[in-house]
Structure 1
Amino acid sequence: MRRKDREIKEFNEILQVILDCDSLVLGLNDGEFPYLVPLNFGIDIEDGQLYIYFHCANEGKKLDLIKKNHRASFEMDHAHQLVLNDEKMSCTMEYESVTGKGFIEIVSEDKKIKGLKILMKHYHVSEFPFSLKPVKNTTVFRLKVIELKGKRRKVSVK
């Protein structure tokens, strides 16, 4: 990271940025160009390991790419605020962001509901009664995060 003064170093601070975001962009390998897709997500920490959960239909490009190559990257951001400086005739943007990479795993059928509950919890719905019919037509997958970086730009007001 070039701007070390903007780096978020503490895991719990990065985690708070993640919790404040409502979507992320998942980057998958698609040959000559990356395939980017915005997704809803949920997080879980198991034995100190961060996992990000997602879902999709049981077929489609995203799932085909995951099956070909389980490596992925992601980005999420929030807290955007344009900051104008009339005196200097300049502007900048405040933000908080998280980027990372890892390996995607398809969640087994017997743990699918648990994964969907993790997704719903991120959006503050702790007990959602899932209909089993659409769950059968849903694939739940998770990304085992192996690299995580946080960045923040806050402008001090003088």
Structure 2
Amino acid sequence: MRRFKQLLSEQAAKEILYNATNGVLSLLDSDGVPYGVPISYAYDGNKCIYFHSAVKGHKIDCILANSRCSFCVVGQDMIIPEEFTTYFRSVIVKGSIHFAEGDEIMKGLLLLCDKYSPGVPSDAEISKCIGHVAVLRLDIDSMTGKEAIELVKKTKESAQ
């Protein structure tokens, strides 16, 4: 990253991944054409991101052609009109996507249910969809978090 002063700590980047509710998954299709798709996801807190998908479609075709991907999450984007800027925090993950198999399918679905429907019994919903849903796991190779320079400056000022 060019502006290293704006680099978030690994812990801050993980918190954004854990708390944000959506991101953009960027893939390449078999012709090398970029494809970005917004998705809901669940981060396991370590090195994997899970999401679900239909079993067929352009996203699946792209993954089958090339499992490498990038995933971007914006944790904060506060527009400051008088400063002609935004106070942002974001994370970009690079890695590869794999189809979950066996017990990992349930692990991914439970993580998604716990994130988006906490405290709601999920057994019936999972039973209803498990036969026609793909659970995908993004294995994280690298993660970079960045924040607006204005937020860096505010943090330094408040520390003094």
| Superposed pair shares fold, TM > 0.5 | yes
User: Within 5 Å, which residues of 2 pair with 1:69-108?
Assistant: 69-85=66-82, 90-108=83-101
State how many pairs are aligned: 150
Name whichever of 26-35 and 118-127 sits farther off.
118-127
Is the partner of 2:15 in helix, strand or coil?
helix
CA distance in 1, matches of 2:99, 2:37: 17
Contact in 1 for aligned 2:109/2:126 (Cα 8 Å):
no
User: Within 5 Å, which residues of 2 pair with 1:12-91?
Assistant: 12-30=11-29, 31-45=31-45, 49-85=46-82, 90-91=83-84
1:25 deviation in Å? 0.4
The letter of the residue matching 1:105 is: H
Computed over aligned residues only, the root mean square deviation of the Cα atoms, in angstroms, reads 2.1
1:124 deviation in Å? 5.5
Please report the TM-score for the alignment, with normalisation by the length of structure 1.
Answer: 0.85
Q: What per-residue deviation string (whole Å, max 9, x for no partner) do you get for residues 67-100 of structure 1?
A: 1111111101032112244xxxx42110110002
The letter of the residue matching 1:44 is: D
Q: What per-residue deviation string (whole Å, max 9, x for no partner) do you get for residues 101-129 of structure 1?
A: 10111001443122111112233525522
The letter of the residue matching 2:122 is: F
CA distance in 2, matches of 1:109, 1:138: 13
Greater helix percent: which structure?
A: 2
CA distance in 1, matches of 2:81, 2:60: 43
Is the partner of 1:81 in helix, strand or coil?
strand
Q: What per-residue deviation string (whole Å, max 9, x for no partner) do you get for residues 1-50 of structure 1?
A: 121111113x21111111221101001112342110000000114xxx51
CA distance in 1, matches of 2:96, 2:154: 38
Contact in 2 for aligned 1:23/1:39 (Cα 8 Å):
yes
Alignment pair present for 1:137 and 2:132:
yes
Name whichever of 56-65 and 75-84 sits farther off.
75-84
Contact in 1 for aligned 2:23/2:71 (Cα 8 Å):
yes
CA distance in 2, matches of 1:74, 1:21: 12
Alignment pair present for 1:112 and 2:109:
no
CA distance in 1, matches of 2:8, 2:99: 30
Aligned residue in 2 for 1:122: 115
Greater strand percent: which structure?
A: 1
Gap regions ≥5 residues in structure 1: none
